[in-house]
Amino acid sequence: MEQREFIVEAEAAGQRIDRFLSGEDTGLSRSALQGLVAEGHVLCNGKSIAKSLKLKAGDTILLEIPDAKPIEAVPQDIPLDIVYEDDHLLVVNKPKGMVVHPAPGNPDGTLVNALLWHCKGSLSGIGGEIRPGIVHRIDKDTSGLLVVAKDDATHIGLSQQMAVHSVERAYQTVVYGGFAQDEGFVEANLGRSKTDRKKMAVYPAGEPHTKYAYTGYKVLERFGGFTLLECRLKTGRTHQIRVHMASIRHPVAGDPVYGPHNCITRLHGQCLHAKTLGFIHPITGEHLRFDSELPEYFTHFIASLRRGTV
């Protein structure tokens, strides 16, 4: 069980406990926090409290986060688009709509379930039972290339390359609006939103509980009201491209979270594809680089933009 301690500052005095905690970096939704209060997992100055308690400056809050109930990842015979495979790793072209690993709400039908079937269980164990072999992730509705480790040595080697930003990762995306310049970058820290725990947000450098993030972009094609970009990542934060582009008023087309309220629903999520992936093979030392074709949903959307029929 994880325990987190918070001190109530003067500006938070008078708040209800659930509202106070929803403004802290807990990673939990307000409803989940309310449930923990009701179950006695939140203490104020060492005592159990009611959810209606109004806090005072200087109160010490102890939040107990129970261990998540394990989700059993089972092998499932789900087709995979495997771009490359050897004894140590494989590169997969993930389709739009597929979740990478099991989680509450998505217990099966994930990339991990498919990998367990394909690899007969021979995946690195560093990611744990729920994320075997998973070195990095892309969002459910983002398509494109992922590298998966079959053994721990490969997993460690790939993770080290990720940590020093030496892995080549290039995405293509269609965003709202036009660009006067042909290329640029967004350099802004990212962290969990203080108002919506399911979202990420941009914060000033040095803000607690945030991480540095850098996205470079280049214009590939301009349309009326939209632009096709290539985005290259130095870092790989949650929702990075989606949040960074929205922060400069160029949200990703089809993004229901960071885009406009009248998002393009026929895209079924953000128009974002992990197109290029390059790295040094941790075991053989060979430089590997892969490039995937844009999926059908993406090419159809570009064709409609060229015709001016969006």
Catalytic residues: 139
| CA pair distance 240, 167, nearest whole angstrom | 16
Task: Quote helix, strand, coil % in the chain, to nearest 5.
Answer: 20, 30, 50
Query: Beta strand pairing status for 287-291 and 143-149?
Result: unpaired
CA distance 272 to 294: 10
Query: Hey, what are 62's tokens?
Result: 């102890």
Taking the C-alpha atoms of residue 21 and residue 19, their distance in angstroms, rounded to an integer, is: 6
Distance CA 295, CA 207 (A): 38
Distance CA 304, CA 253 (A): 13
Q: How far apart are CA 244 and CA 202, in angstroms?
A: 7
Integer-rounded Cα Rg, in Å, for the chain is 22
Distance between first and last Cα of the chain: 50
Distance CA 126, CA 136 (A): 12
* Type of residue found at 239: H
CA 285/CA 287 separation, integer angstroms: 7
